Structure formats: structure tokens, C-alpha cells
């Protein structure tokens, strides 16, 4: 999700039913889930925006 906007991340979390924690403002620079990994069993997503 690197480079995604806050609104895009919120939409994805809503669709997938994930609890979302957002830190900062701007665009995604870090995420708690490894890129291209399976999200089965993931209940919470944390993203850092900068």
C-alpha cells in the first residue's frame, strides 16, 4: 500500500473488515503487514503516513 492515500486505505480496511490504526498524515510510507502477503487471519492493520 506504499503511496496510497488515507481514503484508499480506509476503503480497503472497510471492505476487508479490518480494524485500522493510522499514524500521521499524507500517504502511506509504512504498513504493519508485509507487502503482497495473505491477509487471512489479519484483524488489525496499522499504517504510517508521511
Predicted confidence (pLDDT) per residue in 31-48, tens digit: 999 999 998 999 999 999
Q: CA-CA distance, 21 to 11, in Å (whole number)?
A: 13
pLDDT at 19: 98
C-alpha cell at 42: 489479519
Give me the sheet containing 44-49, strands edge to edge: 19-24, 44-49, 28-31
Task: Report CA 24 to chain centroid distance, whole Å.
Answer: 12
- Kindly state the average pLDDT of the residues 6-22: 97
Q: How confident is the model at residue 6 (pLDDT cuts 50, 70, 90)?
A: very high
Q: CA-CA distance, 11 to 47, in Å (whole number)?
A: 13
pLDDT mean across residues, the chain: 96
Amino acid at each position: 500500500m506504499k503511496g496510497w492515500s488515507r481514503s484508499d486505505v480506509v476503503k480497503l480496511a472497510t471492505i476487508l473488515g479490518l480494524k485500522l490504526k493510522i499514524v500521521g498524515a499524507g500517504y502511506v510510507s509504512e504498513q504493519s503487514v508485509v507487502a503482497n502477503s495473505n491477509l487471512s487471519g489479519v484483524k488489525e492493520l496499522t499504517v504510517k503516513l508521511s
